Amino acid sequence: METQQKWKRKTDRFLDVWRCLRRNKAAMTGLIVILIFVLLAVFAGVICDYDMVIKQDTVNRLQAPSGEHWLGTDHLGRDIFARMIYGARVSIGVGFLVVIISAALGGFIGSLSALLGGKLDNLIMRVVDIFTCIPSMLMTLAMVAALGPGLRNLVVALCINTTVGFTRVVRAAVLSIVNQDYISAAKASGFSTWKIAVRHVMPNAMGIIIVEGAMTVAGTILSIAGLSFLGLGIQPPSPEWGAMLNEGRAYMRTFPYMIVFPGIAIILSALAMNLLGDGLRDALDPRSKR
């Protein structure tokens, strides 16, 4: 019976958030755009063959958008539409992967810092302060330059950088939660720190983590594109929106579609995640509305 009541409370909470989110037109627009990108990435192999992404066709190079090539072809004759949707797998997929890893690590470290306090908390926050005082893009750029270009090193650098933000946000959220009366009651009942964290603290901090995650995905997509544009991210011939911008910049005056479509994809995906993040913040914490 108690389990059913808990499940009902969680279901009701989810439905309340969904109703609030559904009333937010900007957030729903962002959600729809992200879902379109995700579906294109998931079903990229069904929509077009991977040979269209990497196969060079110099006879049909620099073709304008047409019925055969919806978004045209690049300087090597590769289909831009095919490279766009396969590139979504990298930009969107890596963005979500980095946020999931960072949220887990930052959530754990931030909770540990807030719950245990003392010297450990002071040490963790000084490390966070060091990372925070350096611009995030500059820090990521330095780490990727040190580790070397490539997908794995890019993910490692982005995870380290974004974990810092999650640690700070989660620590602040946990500190506000542990001062509540029900936490004091749990401590008086003899609950261990670990049990309090799992049963009471983390579920109540989850909303903040979700909102921070949505915002971080947007920033991560921009970072991936920026680093790939500089040649430090995803390496050719693998398709990636930022790398496509780099390849097309030499032709931006004569064949502008080579940079227009990847640029639109980067802007739309980042903007959509920000709109969704704002909507989730309002839905999960109505007090945050201005």
Encode pLDDT of 175-191 as tens digits. Answer: 888 777 777 777 777 77
Instruction: Out of 14-23, 94-103, 243-252, pick the least confident.
Output: 14-23
Q: Is residue 60 part of a domain?
A: no
Among residues 138, 175, 176, the alpha carbon closest in space to that of 157 is found at 138
Cβ proximity of 149 and 131 under 8 Å: no
Work out the average pLDDT over 119-124: 90
Cis peptide before 256 (omega within 30 of 0): no
As given in the structure block, the two tokens for residue 186 are: 């749990």
Q: Is residue 16 part of a domain?
A: no
- The predicted structure's pLDDT at residue 258: 92
Cα 199–chain centre separation: 26
Q: Is residue 10 part of a domain?
A: no
Cβ proximity of 208 and 169 under 8 Å: yes
Taking the C-alpha atoms of residue 129 and residue 123, their distance in angstroms, rounded to an integer, is: 10
Say how many domains are in the chain.
1
Cα–Cα separations (whole angstroms), residue 96 to 56, 80, 99, 272: 31, 24, 5, 14
As given in the structure block, the two tokens for residue 120 are: 């450990």
Q: Is residue 213 part of a domain?
A: yes
Among residues 66, 143, 133, 57, the alpha carbon closest in space to that of 98 is found at 143
The amino acid occupying position 132 is T
Higher pLDDT, 182 or 42: 42
By percentage, how much of the chain surpasses pLDDT 90?
Answer: 39
Sign, CA dihedral 125-129-131-135, equals positive
Quickly list DSSP for 45-84: HHHS-THHHH---GGGTTPPS-SSSTT-B-TTS-BHHHHH
As given in the structure block, the two tokens for residue 91 are: 């930009």
Q: Is residue 205 part of a domain?
A: yes
SS3 (DSSP) at 192: coil
- Look up tokens 């379109």; give the residue: 36
- The predicted structure's pLDDT at residue 286: 53
- Secondary structure of 125-164 in the HEC alphabet? HHHHHHHHCCCHHHHHHHHHHHHCCCHHHHHHHHHHHHHH
Q: Is residue 64 part of a domain?
A: no
- E strand or H helix at 8: helix 2-22
Cβ proximity of 163 and 212 under 8 Å: no
Q: What is the CATH number of the domain that holds 74?
A: 1.10.3720.10
Q: Is residue 8 part of a domain?
A: no
* pLDDT band with cut points at 50, 70 and 90 for residue 3: low
What is the pLDDT of the chain when averaged over all its residues?
Answer: 86
Q: Residue 32 pLDDT more than 80? A: yes
Domain limits at 277? Answer: 23-51+70-288
Encode pLDDT of 187-222 as tens digits. Answer: 777 777 777 777 777 777 888 888 889 999 999 999
Q: Is residue 180 part of a domain?
A: yes
